[in-house]
């Protein structure tokens, strides 16, 4: 059964992220079979606290065990 993880990420410097971390993050995602389904850099919050400049990402995994391994 598929498992889904919603996460929020804040990168202060996207150029630095792309140069230093993006390839490593993609390697981890590939290892556990994480599939990015959606990403929103400026989410609209309907209730609760604002997004504080954070990006919201939705990942799909083939199982809860793979999501936990991630």
pLDDT at 55: 85
Record the pTM: 0.78
pLDDT digits (tens, 9 = 90+) for 14-61: 788 888 888 888 999 999 999 999 988 888 888 887 767 778 899 999
Q: Where does the pLDDT of residue 68 fall: very low under 50, low under 70, confident under 90, or very high at 90 and above?
A: very high
Between 69 and 9, the more confident residue is 69
**Helix-, strand-, coil-residue percentages of the chain, each rounded to 5:** 35, 30, 35
CATH number reported for the structural domain that contains residue 21 in this entry = 3.30.70.100
**Structural domain harbouring 47:** 3-69
pLDDT at 45: 81
Domain count, the chain: 1
Helix (H) or strand (E) holding 19: helix 14-20
Distance of CA 57 to the CA centre of its chain: 4
């Amino acid at each position: 059964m598929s498992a889904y993880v919603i996460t929020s990420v804040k990168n202060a410097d996207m150029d630095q992220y792309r140069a230093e971390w993006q390839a490593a993050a993609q390697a981890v995602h590939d290892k556990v079979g994480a599939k990015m389904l959606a990403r929103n850099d400026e989410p609209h919050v309907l209730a609760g606290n604002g997004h504080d400049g954070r990006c919201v990402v939705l990942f799909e995994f083939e199982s809860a065990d793979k999501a936990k391994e991630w």
